[in-house]
Amino acid sequence: MIPHHADEAQQLFELESRFAARDAFPSDPGRNTEAKMIEFLKAAKDMRQKPLVIAHHAARSATGLGVSGQDTPSEFRQRQQRRTGDLRRLRGAPGHQAGPLNGGARGGYGNHPTYGGFDQMTARVGGLWDSLLGEGRRWWITATSDSHVHWTHGGSDFWPGEYSKTYVYARQDYADIMDGLRNGRIWVGTGDLITSLDLTASSQRRSAAMGETLPVSRRNRTDVDIEIRFRPLTGKNANGDHPEVQRVDLIVGRVTGSNSNLDSDTNPTTKVVARFGPRDWREQGREYVIKHTLRNVETDLYARVRGTSTDEAEPLADGLESPWDDLWFYSNPVFVQVS
């Protein structure tokens, strides 16, 4: 994504003409390599107007759960560790979500499926995303419409915003929206299951929201209060449905520092620490509010939230079910730093 400025079209043209794998004529296999990716990130970093880079459908070439395809955990780590550019976002929910409506795979994931419409790198609790977060890396997830051909015209896509949405906490301003995307003030959802989501952690009169860090003292065992606020859909979504949230999960993992195994894709400390149903949240105006306390916090951690319209304890591998019957939302994390 190119920042909004007078020469943004020229900047995009320069990057695509120099680096896009399909732009070279005659074709150049060297463009579809990790070395070329690093070169691109270096060039992007050195630009006065810095682009925003998102890794999309990262596990679409994977052949199994926990099996790396074209994109590997070590590549994500090395790209960030070399400080070559701003690549710290995964496209958690890929496009092409309407595939099952025409007998195809959701997201175009023909080798190994998505889970509740989300890439396995995001959907698996304690998986790659949690592994990166557990190292203290600020990695964020987004969603996309990625609309090529609408499913009613024989394709596998919804219209932009018809099904998947990325919400950014920002002013109605190009620069602030880009800043929100860079700094994790983001949550994502499908099927308009909800229309707003807030996640905050607070302790001793301090608080932090998505993408932010809450500092707490090590001197005394500190409780951290988690508050989740979400607003349900009041009307109907693009399918004419009025979906309802059946459950909200609070997911917590420890931040333990860098992993010497660059190909690690697990964080065994990450768990669903609490599950909430309709009886567990209270109505406050147009929102529902959930409160939970993490007792005696002594180590660095992060907390994130997901919710669903289903009764699945964990998102199941997607088949040919209608995507409208399998809706999820995910927050980005809030961090707690103990010192």
Q: pLDDT at position 72, please?
A: 87
- List pLDDT tens digits, range 57-75: 888 989 999 888 888 888 8
Contacts of 61 (CB under 8 A, 6+ apart): 69, 70, 71, 111
Residue 91 has pLDDT above 80, yes or no: no
Per residue in 114-154, pLDDT (tens digit) is 999 999 999 999 999 999 999 999 999 999 988 999 999 99
Q: What would you report as the CA-atom Rg of the chain, rounded to the nearest whole angstrom?
A: 20
- The pTM of the full predicted model, rounded to 2 decimals, is 0.94
Question: Comparing 326 with 54, which gets the higher pLDDT?
Answer: 326
Taking only the tens place, the pLDDT of each residue in 238-293 is 999 999 999 999 999 999 999 889 889 999 999 999 999 999 999 999 999 999 99
pLDDT in tens, 37-52: 889 988 988 999 999 8
In DSSP terms, 198 is beta-bridged to 229
Site of tokens 């004529």 = 25
At residue 238, the 3 state secondary structure works out as coil
**pLDDT at position 219, please?**
79
The Cα angle at residue 310 between residues 306 and 316, in degrees rounded to 5:
80
> Which candidate, 336, 332, 339, places its Cα nearest to that of 203?
336
Token readout for 138 is 């600020």
Structure tokens at 233: 């859909």
Helix H or strand E encompassing 329? strand 328-331
pLDDT of 88 higher than 70: no
The encoded tokens of residue 305 equal 């939230």
Q: Rounded to a whole number, what is the distance in angstroms from the first to the last CA of the chain?
A: 36
